[in-house]
């Protein structure tokens, strides 16, 4: 008996070393995978931040410009459309000619090219905001051309010239020495829509487009998804038809998103005539894509409500509706919200289906309503990444930072909401 | 042990003033029959204990009495069950008012994840029993008093019901049931998750409740059946073997299976 006991024990002891090794190995794999994941994240973020952070800065020229009433032919009584049409561009050119010495036409052109073609809008905006400025000297930070911007931010430190010639460099260095050429926080990046000129391009249009599109998506997919989940889980008879519906919902979740774009193009645009390139059509297509995720997670959340709660309510004489809406739904809500937020995050980053429905169009105006033409952040990123100018590369990373910030904000709100709604039983 | 052919229930399954009458009740889960031809009266203001080994169908039978089995899709019921001479399985009967008349307390305390007040107030609210807040407060207080929980919770009615101890939770569930003022209370092993002190408290409560309600209780504890009930029904493999006054069942069981069970030879 004792012998048998010792052999059993020694066998167990022998096995122990093997078991411990196996456990150690498994832990190592775990640590390695987590480490690899973190490394990828660090590289990704590091790369984006290092490339994109300069997108938030803009090179400007500090200028004192006399808003010459005679030159412009305007005064503070002039009607708005005349104020709008004033020759501010000429005013800037005049200012530049005065501040740097130029002789030939080609030199003049080189000089004018230093300032952004959109700089005169700055003057126009200032005058429109306050016509009394006419006649006085306006102190303004003129936005510089992207070539100057890139040179000042990147190449100058390394002694490079970028795409500028000797003459231009001479003027610029002089301005730097005078402290007039400087880099400041770029508000245009956040207040402007897209533009052909990198220094004037901003993400405001894309952000508004994204917000409007997500709003449409949420308003459609959340109620429809929750209603479908409740019906399928609580009310639908268990038969062949519901089974087929279930299988197809699961299949839909795995359908490549570009297919939904084609579907939206074929049905919403071609048959129902919804105008293309709007947050409305974008939201409709993304709803199709988000619905399966919301329905599946919603059903899982409903299933996880303990049956004892249902029984308690039924036992008191609650009707099916009352059981569902008083007890099941509140308890399932955190899970449903999690699913919804996963779906919305997916929708936030989706590009492919939106390309099919015209949201890739070049849209300068900032959309104000769901039927205005617009683009969304990921598509904006895609558009910019395709542009040859170096300044757009920088803006691509900048827009990615904005997109990621949005994603993190959304997830934070979701987690907070879930915590608030979560109840123990 | 197998099902007895042509079994007739021993003892006195019927009584003079029945509240609930079951006649030839059979229950099927899909193709499997769980209850065979059970006929039993539950008298007004009496406590009847349903005992028997696990899987004998006593809980299933209890759940037929307020149609809780309706929630199980594959469950089918034959025979008839009469509440005050009205067939509760008749097509015109709605389960919602039925369950308001025949309340139920479950094995595991299952308070809603709401406040103590809302737990008790839920029934009166959904049935529209009150018009004013103060009426509701009165019902809640009365129900908690009857369930013997008032003094323990009166200062924290806004606390979550799930934060109470097991015994308190079960008394809260009883308070919740009696707040609807049912005529019959069904209890499915209400003390199996509780310690002896909490159990004693619930048993006292059952005794007090008998004045106003008719109670059917399923229990695994024969001592409990002996302490709280006036009549005891013994179930075996889906058949009702014997029904007799409780003292008789525990002193002079009529059927051999009943005797075997109460003397602990199986169960």
Between B110, B123, B162, which is nearest A317 by CB?
A: B123
Domain annotation for chain B: domains and CATH numbers: 10-262 (3.40.50.300)
pLDDT at A296 over 90: yes
Chain A contact probe: residue of B65, B70, B99 with most A CBs at under 10 A? B99
- Contact call for A319 and B98, based on CB within 8 A: no
Residue B135's CB: how many other CB atoms inside 10 A?
A: 12
Pairing assessment for the beta strands A137-143 and B10-11 based on DSSP bridges:
unpaired
pLDDT at position B104 is 93
- Flag if B176 and A316 touch (Cβ within 8 Å): yes
Going from the C-alpha of B207 to that of each of A51, B146, B147, B185, B212, the distances in angstroms are 79, 11, 11, 13, 10
A234 burial type by CB count under 10 A (0-12 exposed, 13-18 middle, 19+ buried):
middle
Same domain (yes/no): A313, A394: yes
Query: pLDDT value at position B2?
Result: 63
Q: How many angstroms separate the CA atoms of B49 and B220, rounded?
A: 10
- Find out whether B242 and B234 touch, Cβ atoms under 8 Å: yes
Q: Per-residue confidence at B6, pLDDT binned at 50, 70, 90?
A: low
Tokens describing residue B85: 């001479």
**Which residues 6+ apart lie within 8 Å of A413 measured at CB?**
none
Indicate if A87 and A170 belong to the same structural domain. Answer: yes
Which among B63, B97, B101, B126 is the top mutation candidate for probing chain A, defined by the most A β-carbons within 10 Å of its own β-carbon?
Answer: B126
Neighbours of A14 (CB within 10 A): 10
Note whether A125 and A215 are same-domain residues.
Answer: no
- Residue A216 domain-assigned (yes or no): yes
Q: Do A318 and B96 touch (CB under 8 A)?
A: yes
Choosing from A185, A214, A249, the residue where a domain stops is A185
* B223 and B207 Cβ atoms separated by less than 8 Å: no
The reply to whether residue A326 touches residue B126, judged by beta carbons under 8 angstroms, is yes
Q: What percent of chain B has pLDDT over 70?
A: 97
The Cα–Cα gap between A166 and A22 comes to 68
pLDDT in tens, A99-121: 888 888 888 888 898 999 888 88
Q: With 80 as the cut, is the pLDDT of residue A24 above it?
A: yes
B68 touches chain A (CB under 8 A): yes
Are residue A213 and residue A168 in the same domain, yes or no?
no
Cα(A101)–Cα(A87) distance, rounded to whole angstroms? 22
Q: What is the pLDDT of residues A310-320, one digit of tens each?
A: 999 999 989 99
Residue A121 lies in a domain: yes
CATH number for the domain spanning A410: value is: 1.10.3720.10
Nearest CB to A423: which of B96, B98, B113? B113
- The fraction of chain A above a pLDDT of 90, given in percent, is 38
Residues B172, B116: contact at Cβ < 8 Å? yes
> Closest Cα of chain B to A237: distance in Å?
9
Same domain, A266 and A385: yes
CA distance A271 to A265: 9
Give the mean pLDDT of chain B.
Answer: 89
If phi > 0 it is left, if psi is from -120 to 50 it is alpha, else beta; for residue A211 that is alpha
Burial of A190 (0-12, 13-18, 19+ CB in 10 A): middle
Same domain flag for A332 and A218: yes
What whole-number distance in Å separates Cα of residue A9 and Cα of residue A25? 24
Contacts of A373 (CB under 8 A, 6+ apart): A275, A277, A278, A361, A363, A365, A367
DSSP per residue over A190-223, as a string? HH----SSGGG--SHHHHHHHHHHHHHHHHHHHH
User: Does A367 reside within a domain?
Assistant: yes
User: DSSP secondary structure string, A20-43?
Assistant: HHHHHHHHHHHHHHHHHHHHHHHH
Quote the CA–CA distance of A211 and B78 in Å, as a whole number: 59
Position A51 scores a pLDDT of 85
Domain co-membership, A178 together with A219: no
Evaluate if residue B4 carries a pLDDT over 80: no
Among A315, A319, A328, A422, pick the best mutation site for testing chain B contact (most B Cβ within 10 A).
Answer: A315
Largest CA distance in chain B: 58
Which of B63, B113, B159 is the best substitution to test chain A (most A C-beta atoms within 10 A)?
A: B113
Does residue A286 sit in helix, strand or coil? helix
Q: For residue B77, what are the contacts with CB-CB under 8 A and spacing of at least 6?
A: B25, B26, B27, B28, B64, B69, B89
For residues A167 and A222, state if they share a domain: no
Q: Taking Cα atoms as reference points, which of A355, A77, A386 lies closest to residue A201?
A: A386
Pairing of the two strands B86-87 and A57-66:
unpaired
Q: Which residue of A has its CA nearest to B172?
A: A312
| CA separation for the pair A380, A363 (Å, rounded) | 10
Q: Round to whole Å and give the CA distance between B153 and A342.
A: 41
pLDDT confidence of A373, banded at 50, 70, 90?
confident
Nearest to B99 among A317, A327, A424 (CB): A317
What's the pLDDT score for residue A5?
A: 73
* A178 three-class SS: coil
Of all residues in chain A, what percent are helix, strand and coil, respectively (each to 5)?
A: 70, 5, 25
Three-state SS annotation for B74-90: CEEEEEEEEECCEECCC
* pLDDT of A425 over the 50 cut: no
For the cut 90, the answer to whether the pLDDT of residue B141 exceeds it is yes
Query: In angstroms, rounded to a whole number, what is the distance separating the alpha carbons of residues B69 and B251?
Result: 34
DSSP A46-103: HHHHHHHGGGGEEEEEEEEEE--HHHHT--TTS-HHHHHTS-HHHHHHHHHHHHS---
> Which backbone phi and psi does A68 adopt, to 5 degrees?
-70, 115
> Which residue among A158, A185, A212 closes a domain?
A185
Q: Judge whether A385 lies within some domain.
A: yes
Residue A332 is assigned to a structural domain of this protein: yes
Are A310 and A322 in contact by the 8 Å Cβ rule? The answer is no
Given a cut of 70, whether residue A339 has pLDDT beyond it is yes
- Specify whether A179 is located in the same domain as A255: no
pLDDT, residue A289, reads 92
Assign A78 a pLDDT band (cuts: 50, 70, 90): confident
Q: Is B31 in CB contact (< 8 Å) with chain A?
A: no
Nearest CA in chain A to B185: A315
Position A14 in a domain: no
**Same structural domain for residues A180 and A208?**
no
- Per-residue pLDDT at A359: 84
Strands B10-11 and B239-245 come out as parallel
In a domain, residue A141? The reply is yes
Q: Do residues A390 and A150 make contact, with C-beta atoms less than 8 angstroms apart?
A: yes
B112/A312 touch (CB, cutoff 8 Å), yes or no: yes
What are the tokens at B14?
């019927």
Cβ–Cβ below 8 Å for A317 and B104: no
Per-residue pLDDT of A255-269, as tens digits, reads: 898 999 999 999 999
> What residues make up the domain containing A248?
204-421
B98 CA: distance to closest CA in chain A (Å): 7
Average pLDDT of span A346-351: 89
Residues A168-217 pLDDT 10s: 888 888 888 888 898 889 888 998 888 888 888 999 999 999 999 999 99
Q: How many CB pairs under 8 A join A and B?
A: 71
Identify the band that residue A2 occupies on the pLDDT scale cut at 50, 70 and 90: low
pLDDT at A1: 55
Neighbouring residues of B60: CB distance < 8 A, sequence distance ≥ 6: B27, B34, B35, B69
The pair of three-digit structure tokens given for residue B90, joined into one six-digit string: 């008749």
Angle between helices A377-385 and A329-349 (to 10 degrees): 20
What distance lies between CA A275 and its chain's CA centroid?
23
pLDDT at B3: 67
List, in order, residues 6 or more apart from B198 with CB less than 8 Å away: B165, B166, B167, B168, B170, B191
Q: What is the mean pLDDT of residues A67-92?
A: 84
Closest CA to A167 of A112, A219, A127, A111: A111
Question: What is the rounded average pLDDT for all residues in chain A?
Answer: 89
Pairing between strand B184-188 and B102-105? parallel
pLDDT digits (tens, 9 = 90+) for B10-60: 888 888 888 999 999 999 998 899 999 999 999 999 999 999 988 888 999
| Domain total in chain A | 2
Compare CB distances from A308 to B97, B110, B122 and report the shortest one's residue: B110
State the residue for tokens 């129902």: A272
Q: Are residues A280 and A235 in the same domain?
A: yes
Is the CB of B96 less than 8 angstroms away from the CB of A317?
yes
**Maximal CA-CA distance, chain A:** 118
- Per-residue pLDDT reduced to its tens digit, A135-160: 888 888 999 998 899 898 888 888 88
A274 in any annotated domain: yes
Q: Could you tell me the pLDDT band of residue A414, with boundaries at 50, 70 and 90? A: confident
pLDDT band at A15 (very low <50, low <70, confident <90, very high): confident
Q: Note the residue count of chain A.
A: 425
Beta-bridge mates of residue A77:
none
pLDDT band at A52 (very low <50, low <70, confident <90, very high): confident
% chain A with pLDDT above 70: 99
**Average of pLDDT values for B214-230?**
92
Nearest CA to A342 among A405, A283, A407? A407
CB atoms inside a 10 Å sphere around CB A312: 26
Residues A215, A70 share a domain: no
In chain A, residues with a C-beta closer than 8 Å to the C-beta of B110 are 306, 308-309, 311-312
The continuous run of DSSP H or E covering A356 comes out as helix A352-356
- Alpha-carbon Rg for chain B in angstroms: 19
β-bridge mates for residue B233, sequence order: B50, B243
């Amino acid at each position: 008996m004792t012998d048998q006991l010792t052999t059993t024990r020694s066998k167990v002891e022998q096995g122990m070393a093997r078991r411990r090794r196996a456990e150690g190995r498994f832990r190592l794999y775990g640590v390695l995978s987590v480490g690899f994941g973190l490394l990828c994240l660090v590289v990704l973020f590091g790369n984006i931040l290092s490339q994109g952070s300069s997108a938030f800065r803009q090179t400007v020229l500090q200028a004192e410009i006399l808003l010459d009433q005679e030159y412009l032919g305007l005064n503070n009584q002039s009607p708005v459309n005349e104020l709008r049409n004033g020759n501010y561009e000429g005013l800037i050119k005049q200012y530049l000619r005065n501040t740097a010495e130029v002789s030939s036409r080609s030199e003049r052109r080189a000089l004018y090219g230093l300032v952004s073609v959109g700089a005169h809008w700055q003057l126009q905006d200032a005058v429109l905001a306050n016509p009394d400025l006419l006649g006085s000297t306006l102190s303004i930070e003129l936005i510089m051309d992207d070539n100057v911007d890139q040179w000042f931010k990147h190449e100058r430190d390394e002694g490079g010239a970028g795409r500028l010639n000797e003459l231009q460099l001479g003027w610029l260095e002089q301005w730097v020495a005078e402290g007039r050429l400087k880099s400041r926080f770029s508000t245009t990046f956040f207040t402007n829509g897209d533009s052909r000129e990198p220094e004037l391009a901003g993400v405001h249009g894309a952000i508004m487009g994204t917000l409007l599109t997500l709003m449409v998506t949420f308003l459609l997919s959340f109620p429809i998804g929750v209603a479908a989940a409740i019906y399928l889980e609580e009310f639908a008879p268990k038969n062949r038809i519901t089974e087929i519906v279930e299988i197809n919902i699961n299949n839909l979740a795995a359908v490549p998103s570009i297919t939904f774009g084609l579907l939206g193009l074929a049905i919403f645009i071609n048959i129902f005539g919804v105008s293309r390139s709007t947050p409305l059509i974008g939201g409709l297509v993304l709803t199709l894509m988000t619905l399966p995720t919301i329905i599946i997670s919603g059903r899982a959340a409903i299933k996880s409500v303990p049956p004892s709660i249902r029984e308690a309510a039924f036992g008191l004489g609650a009707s099916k509706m009352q059981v569902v809406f008083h007890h099941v739904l509140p308890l399932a809500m955190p899970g449903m919200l999690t699913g919804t937020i996963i779906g919305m995050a997916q929708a936030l980053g989706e590009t492919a289906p939106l390309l099919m429905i015209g949201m890739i169009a070049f849209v300068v105006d900032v959309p104000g309503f769901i039927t205005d033409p617009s683009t969304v952040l990921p598509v904006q990123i895609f558009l910019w990444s395709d542009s040859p100018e170096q300044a757009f590369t920088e803006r691509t990373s900048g827009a990615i930072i904005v997109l990621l910030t949005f994603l993190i904000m959304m997830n934070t709100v979701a987690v907070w909401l879930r915590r608030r709604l979560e109840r123990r039983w | 042990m197998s099902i007895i052919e042509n079994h007739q229930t021993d003892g006195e399954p019927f009584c003079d003033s029945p509240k609930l009458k079951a006649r030839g009740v059979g229950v099927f889960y899909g193709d499997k029959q769980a209850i065979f031809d059970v006929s039993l009266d539950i008298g007004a203001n009496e406590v009847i204990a349903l005992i028997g080994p696990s899987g004998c169908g006593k809980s299933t039978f209890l759940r037929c009495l307020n149609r809780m089995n309706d929630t199980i899709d594959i469950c089918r019921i034959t025979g008839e069950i009469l509440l005050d001479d009205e067939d509760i399985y008749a097509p015109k009967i709605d389960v919602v008012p039925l369950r308001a008349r025949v309340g139920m307390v479950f094995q595991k305390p299952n308070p809603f994840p709401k406040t103590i007040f809302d737990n008790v107030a839920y029934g009166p609210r959904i049935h529209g029993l009150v018009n004013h807040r103060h009426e509701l407060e009165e019902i809640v207080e009365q129900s908690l008093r009857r369930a013997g929980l008032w003094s323990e919770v009166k200062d924290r009615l806004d606390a979550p019901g799930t934060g109470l101890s097991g015994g308190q939770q079960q008394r809260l569930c009883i308070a919740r049931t009696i707040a609807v003022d049912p005529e019959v209370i069904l209890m499915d092993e209400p003390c199996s998750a509780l310690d002896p002190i909490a159990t004693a408290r619930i048993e006292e409560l059952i005794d007090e409740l008998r004045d106003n309600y008719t109670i059917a209780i399923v229990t695994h504890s024969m001592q409990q059946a002996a302490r709280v009930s006036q009549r005891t029904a013994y179930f075996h493999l889906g058949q009702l073997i014997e029904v007799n006054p409780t003292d008789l069942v525990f002193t002079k069981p009529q059927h051999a299976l009943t005797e075997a069970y109460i003397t602990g030879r199986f169960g």
